[in-house]
Chains A and B, each alone.
Chain A
Amino acid sequence: MGDPVPDAPVLAARGLVREFRGFRAVDGVNLDIAEGSVHALVGPNGAGKTTLFNLLTGFLKPTAGSVRLGPHELAGRSPERIARLGLARSFQITSLFGELTPRQHVELALAGRTGLGWRFWRSDKALGRFADRADELLGEVGLAGHGDVPAGALAYGRKRALELALALALEPKVLLLDEPTAGMGAEDVDRTVELVRRVKAGRTVVLVEHNMSVVSSLADRVTVLQQGRVLAEGPYDRIRDDRRVITAYLGDSHAAR
């Protein structure tokens, strides 16, 4: 841990543990996310991916261990503080403010760091100063022209795209995407992969994903989790052929093939 690393990771977890009533959902995980990379977290259901995600973003407090984002220790901090430090996340379950329009969503995300949100004596038209940037971000995720409908009325794929726009609006150092293609049909999956490929340029992305073809087309590195531990880590091609990984996913018969 004290070793001098030539290329220090932008996000690093050390010995991360989370217990739920004696059950260790995450059990001593070390994780290094290199700057500018797309890093996928994969593993069978119940492997601890989402718990790990919630530990990184502060929605759960770790039982033990540390999370560092650049010079900042994140473990034990509140989700809003972590978001302001530059770790933005999307949600697996589409998680929006039903009454607001997509533009209003993105305006709120952009206003988060300005303190404008406290001005209860000002007109909400003041948020309009972010409208141009909001439209730009909506365009970036393919929602141009959908800025004014209630977000609750958007089709599922578009809600997910709005999720991404919200995370991008925070201009994060690291972008965490929780199953960006969950529940999508093939067409929406392709569109989302294309979208993530476009927005990953110059950004660091951590991705929880079930769909292996999505992982293969996006990820530079893959960490495989099983029962709360890191089973394997490396570039996608090496992970794909790793016997332990095949066993974990498909059972012994496939590994013996």
Chain B
Amino acid sequence: MILSRLAGRPAPLAVGLAAALVLPWFVYPPVALDIACWALFAAAVDLLLGFTGLLSFGHAAFWGGAAYGSGLIAVHSGLPFPVAILGGAALAAALAVPIGYLSVRLRGIYFAMVTLAFAQMVYFVANQWRDVTGGENGLQGIPRELFGLDLSDPFFFYYAGLPFVLAGFLVAWRIVRSPFGRVLVSIRDNPARARALGYSVERYKLLAFVLSAALSGLAGGLFALGHGFASLQEVYWTTSGQAVMMVVLGGIGTLWGGAVGAALVVELNDYLATAGFQETGIITGAIFIVVVLLFRRGVWGTARALLARRGAPRPEQREPAPSEAGRSAETVQAEG
């Protein structure tokens, strides 16, 4: 059933899959893996930001927590890498239960600030607990293997990890197009109304938060194993910010937009770094500002709207009643 619905929109899906499959042939393989991991991370953040209306500024806790968790499992147990990755995702989900429970009641900037504070606590623990995390040196020498097969070559590890990223995207896509996803959208648009229909808004937000954290953890664990180390950077607040930036660049509430944003940011950072340019933040920041000012729906959101406008009947013709001025703007927004 999932496949038949995905098949309903074959062109973008085929392009996306093809791009994912050939990526390491065109970009430096470790960068390709970075793009894949960040793409999933951004989609997970978008699940909250775009579909639940929650701006989390603390998702580094889940990405980074899972990076350390997966790394520790791989280092100490010697289990195959999928076990380590899934273990990291489970750890991130478990971490999200208390953090989410204490923060989903808050709105807007307060929610963002409280999630940021929790992420800083995770950073503090990772920094101080040197015996386990390696402190400032990070957790090094994380093995990557599957039944004795050494996957240290980034090119091969990309293909070993890709199924997990694709599965993560499939899960995210299923969530936003499930009855649960429908309730989330209604909560995003109008929490009081959703409550009056009998929906426990906080509990729905909490489940969305935990699911988002699990997907972020899946991405973070894969990232750590792919690089063979987990560093403090993974739990630092700029990591949370970068994920949010990718979502805004690609288009909030589009899911695939996050992947586009991730590809742009990671590739650009890599390009500037190889060119010897130190302050990459100036360039990415400037691009971010331009995109936000010119294309409020993000790169992917704008492209999709343009495509839809070309194919579909004009929105003005869909509702016969001519009584409301300013309606067309509302209609366009509803499509976006």
- A binding-site residues for B, Cβ under 8 Å: 57, 59, 78-80, 83-84, 88-89, 91, 95-100, 104, 108-109, 111-113, 116-127, 149-150, 152-156, 158, 166, 170
Query: Cβ of A150 and Cβ of B178 under 8 Å apart?
Result: no
B327 within 8 A of A: yes
**Given A124-B178, A155-B324, CB of A97 within 8 Å of CB of B196:** no
Which residue of the partner chain A has the closest CB to B181? A124
Query: Cβ of A120 and Cβ of B321 under 8 Å apart?
Result: no
Query: Cβ of A127 and Cβ of B192 under 8 Å apart?
Result: no
| Alpha-carbon gap, A88 to B201, bound state (A) | 16
Interface Cβ pair total, 8 Å cutoff:
132
4 tightest Cβ-Cβ pairs between the two chains A and B: A120-B180, A112-B198, A150-B334, A97-B189
B182 within 8 A of A: yes
**Given A84-B198, A98-B330, A100-B186, CB of A119 within 8 Å of CB of B321:** no
Interface residues on B, range: 35 or more
| Alpha-carbon gap, A226 to B71, bound state (A) | 67
Which residue of the partner chain A has the closest CB to B180? A120
Query: Cβ of A153 and Cβ of B330 under 8 Å apart?
Result: yes
Query: Cβ of B190 and Cβ of A120 under 8 Å apart?
Result: no
A119 / chain B contacts, CB cutoff of 8 Å: 178-180
The one of A59, A108, A120 in contact with B175, judged by C-beta atoms closer than 8 angstroms, is: A120
Which residue of the partner chain A has the closest CB to B327? A153
Question: Which residues of B in the span 161-187 have a Cβ within 8 Å of any Cβ on A?
Answer: 174-175, 177-183, 185-186
Query: Cβ of A91 and Cβ of B181 under 8 Å apart?
Result: no
B324 / chain A contacts, CB cutoff of 8 Å: 153, 155-156
A-B contact pairs, 29 of them (CB 8 A): A57-B196, A79-B192, A83-B197, A83-B198, A91-B193, A95-B192, A97-B185, A97-B190, A108-B186, A111-B179, A112-B197, A117-B182, A119-B180, A120-B174, A120-B178, A122-B178, A123-B1, A123-B174, A124-B179, A125-B1, A126-B178, A126-B179, A150-B331, A152-B330, A153-B331, A153-B334, A155-B319, A156-B323, A170-B198
Query: Cβ of B193 and Cβ of A97 under 8 Å apart?
Result: yes
Query: Cβ of B174 and Cβ of A113 under 8 Å apart?
Result: no
The one of A79, A108, A124, A150 in contact with B195, judged by C-beta atoms closer than 8 angstroms, is: A79
| Alpha-carbon gap, A118 to B193, bound state (A) | 18
**Smallest CB–CB gap between A228 and chain B, Å?**
23
B238 within 8 A of A: no
**Smallest CB–CB gap between B261 and chain A, Å?**
22
B204 within 8 A of A: yes
Which residue of the partner chain A has the closest CB to B174? A121
Q: A112-B199, A153-B327 are in contact. List 9 more A-B contacts (CB 8 A).
A: A80-B198, A83-B196, A95-B193, A98-B334, A112-B197, A119-B179, A150-B331, A154-B321, A170-B197
Question: Which residues of B in the span 201-252 have a Cβ within 8 Å of any Cβ on A?
Answer: 201, 204, 207, 211
Query: Cβ of A109 and Cβ of B197 under 8 Å apart?
Result: yes
Query: Cβ of A122 and Cβ of B196 under 8 Å apart?
Result: no
B128 within 8 A of A: no
B174 / chain A contacts, CB cutoff of 8 Å: 120-121, 123
A118 / chain B contacts, CB cutoff of 8 Å: 179-180, 207
| Alpha-carbon gap, A248 to B201, bound state (A) | 40
| Alpha-carbon gap, A56 to B311, bound state (A) | 49
